[in-house]
Structure 1
């Protein structure tokens, strides 16, 4: 049996692996195509997806503490996610 990872610290790769071990995943939505992915899912059940609201609060908060050291720490901690999902530097 695998090692339990605290979900609040887990990489996205580990979270997806954990979920897939319980039930195969049908879809994985990417942030840069979230509107399109949610519209597809809503269409699958005959609904129209509402647009996502713009929420600049999270961007503003992270912008105050984001720097090169934080970016490097994130890359070091979540290297598999950066490679596997094609992540790059934060664009905030």
Structure 2
């Protein structure tokens, strides 16, 4: 394999490793409380959390650098995270 090939492989693997550490660090104090599919379901869940004042973060896995193409049937996955200390508040909010 030429030198350029090894260099490219090293950059790609380095990016994957750094990306996994960033993901692990970013969500280390967070708890996945709900996975919503579609915008309607997502907005219903977010409205419940906002009504009870629960802070949250949303992750959209599999979104390739801001994909602009939207399918006719929206099956977008939204992972909703809350702080570990607020997990019980979020669970109560979702039961309402």
TM-score, normalized by length of structure 1?
0.24
Normalized per residue, the structure richer in strand is: 2
Choose between structure 1 and 2 for higher RCO, CA contacts under 8 A separated by at least 6 residues. 2
